[in-house]
Structure 1
Amino acid sequence: MSKPNYDELAPRPEVFDFNGVTMINAFTDNWENVQNFQARPDDIVVATYPKAGTTWVSCILDLLYFGQTHPERQTSIPIYLRVPFLEMALYSSEINFVGVDIVNKLDTSPRLIKTHFPVQFLPKSFWENNCRIVYVARNAKDNMVSYFHFDRMNAAQPAAGEWKDFFQRFLDGKMVFGSWYDHVNGWWQKKKTYPNLHYMFFEDLAENTDLEITKLCSFLGLSVSPEIRQHITGEVQFDNMKNNSMANYSTLGHGIMDFNTSPFMRKGKVGDWKNHFTVAQNEKFDEDYQQKMKDHTLQFRSLL
């Protein structure tokens, strides 16, 4: 018997407005505990809009810090436990996945922590402790396509629905974690006043992974030999990660993700939006983009 298409399953979570940002219960039910989270000065945060390269950079950071000293982590602990999702709180008869609790149990130093929060939602203790933050941004068209396929296969997310409806919802900012525009711009503005924020682009990482890892090491104050950097670059190539059960979320199970509908790591390509956008949608998107991207210092490639 074939597995069901998760996009057709009910009930999927409903979105709602939460302090001006579209959210679902999984990311607000534990709000007080998340906001009261006590960061440590050496904590490192990976912040992204969903489907913008989060797992990619999480794996890079884990390899940089622990690949040599604790190589067994790479083959025995899934990435979502090595780099926990801070605001996640899933409770069911099959699974209790509470990000804050997982972070607090980490015995690594530094602790690597993932968030999809817009900048204004990040717990204040990270700012107070001057923690280092790595933000990864992806061009909106590819980000939209990746998010669409993610919502198709992930029962913990709202149903993706038809592509044309999802397209409009993305433009309207009615996505979980809010508007892509607000997210990438909010973190970009923060970068101007908070020096411990490193802003990366998915497209740069895809074009020259080794160079972006070099820049990341410089930001983190890490001295890594060319040989180790080359090894890490090889480890995090898309096909290697897609086939790595400790990186591709295939161990999560619990009826959450349907890999028959779409893999968690689907293509990892720049420009795949061209296989989804109609000519009319592309024109509509470009017009919308011109209106909403007011800060011309924030430049994305591969939009045309």
Structure 2
Amino acid sequence: MALYDLVDDSGNVFRVRRVGSRFFKPSRQDFNEEEFVTHIQSIRSLPTSSDDVFICSYPKCGTHWVYDICQMLESKDVAKNPLRIFEFPREGGFESPVTVGSHLYPHELPDDILKKKSRLIRVCRNPKDVAVSYYFFIGENSTNDLFPYKGNWSDFFQLFIEGRLTYNSYFDYIDIWSAFEQEHPGFVHVVFYEHLHKDPAREIRRLGKFLGVDPSLLEDTVFIEDIVKTCCFQNIKDLKKIKHPGEYRLFVDRLWRKGEVGDWKNYFTVAQNEAMDRVIQQRLQHHDISFIYEL
């Protein structure tokens, strides 16, 4: 497995797979460099259908949480199977209809999505909480035993600011997806992580409407409140451990760490907060985005 090392200012290594200028997660699967590049490049030609749902986000923005809400809306039950990330090589591929997650840019996804009118959901989260969540997901103190990153929070913070991570820059991701959404108005349903915390019933109804759920169900207070209760962050985390025992149960604690809005305040120094604010101002000033940083 060919790997590429991103090195922080203290010399700690963050190991990735590289395809052109894009960085991807290393895999336990035995794919050599050529096979992996071919796989990534072939994604655009994969077939999709109008029933397929792609939940797209930068890492650690709430992809898995939104997936379970989608499953509850469509089947009235918590997902029986863990969310599959579309770009991870998988024997046998995917069969429609399917709901999958992805951290790719829109132009890296299958061309069929626009042609067949597959449904795109983009999950967005404030960059300060994303940075902290990402650090604990891949850091030495996580349960990541594949290629743990051994740098401290300050080392990681600089990698995040510079976009030298798996899936590259958070801010590039926002730029590219926002441009796509402007080019294709109404095609992408945007969900804000913080809004799901602040007013879950409203966001679940919005999501259900986009997915084509029966309008009478969306007006059913009992139905909506059941989803709100079942899919509250801590509850869904506990349910995942019950439904998916074994090795995946350990992975749940990485995917579902705290789920808080404002956890960044426990880790950012004053200087880091000021640095992040400058980057946010520089990179996002032309976007119509108003993040919530605490509740």
Q: TM-score range by the shorter chain?
A: 0.7 to 0.9
Q: CA deviation at 1:160?
A: 5.3
For the Cα contact (< 8 Å) 1:170–1:179, is it kept in 2? Answer: yes
What's 2:87 paired with? 87
Output the CA distance in 2 between the equivalents of 1:155 and 1:136.
27
Per-residue CA shift, 1:253-276, capped at 9, x if unaligned?
49xx677xx643111000000000
Give the number of the structure with larger relative contact order, counting CA–CA contacts within 8 Å between residues 6 or more apart: 1
Structure-to-structure mapping, 1:242-261, within 5 angstroms = 242-245=237-240, 251-253=246-248
Structure-to-structure mapping, 1:16-165, within 5 angstroms = 17-26=18-27, 28-29=36-37, 30-67=39-76, 71=77, 74=78, 77-80=80-83, 84-89=84-89, 98=90, 101-104=92-95, 110-152=97-139, 153=142, 154-156=144-146, 159=149, 161-165=151-155
Matched to 1:233, the amino acid is V
For the Cα contact (< 8 Å) 1:13–1:156, is it kept in 2? Answer: no
Q: Compared with structure 1, are the counterparts of its residues 63 and 36 closer, same or farther at alpha carbon in structure 2 (3 Å cutoff)?
A: same
Q: Compared with structure 1, are the counterparts of its residues 24 and 243 closer, same or farther at alpha carbon in structure 2 (3 Å cutoff)?
A: closer
CA-atom RMSD in angstroms: 2.7
Please point out which of 135, 160, 163 is paired with 1:170.
160
State the TM-score, normalized to the length of structure 1.
0.79
Q: CA deviation at 1:33?
A: 4.3
Per-residue CA shift, 1:116-171, capped at 9, x if unaligned?
11222112121221211110000000000001111122234652521111100000
For the Cα contact (< 8 Å) 1:241–1:247, is it kept in 2? Answer: no
Please point out which of 208, 232, 240 is paired with 1:237.
232
**How many pairs align?**
267
Output the CA distance in 1 between the equivalents of 2:126 and 2:133.
11
What's 2:182 paired with? 192
Q: CA deviation at 1:184?
A: 2.0
Matched to 1:238, the amino acid is F
Output the CA distance in 2 between the equivalents of 1:53 and 1:20.
25
Q: Compared with structure 1, are the counterparts of its residues 103 and 226 closer, same or farther at alpha carbon in structure 2 (3 Å cutoff)?
A: farther
For the Cα contact (< 8 Å) 2:120–2:187, is it kept in 1? Answer: yes
Unaligned runs of 5+ in 2: 1-12
What's 2:8 paired with? none
| Equivalent position SS for 2:92 | helix
State the TM-score, normalized to the length of structure 2.
0.81
Q: CA deviation at 1:233?
A: 1.0
Matched to 2:59, the amino acid is P
Q: CA deviation at 1:290?
A: 1.5
For the Cα contact (< 8 Å) 2:14–2:165, is it kept in 1? Answer: no
Unaligned runs of 5+ in 1: 1-11, 90-97
Output the CA distance in 2 between the equivalents of 1:258 and 1:205.
23
Please point out which of 284, 287, 290 is paired with 1:296.
287
Matched to 1:171, the amino acid is I
Output the CA distance in 2 between the equivalents of 1:274 and 1:248.
33
What's 2:202 paired with? 211
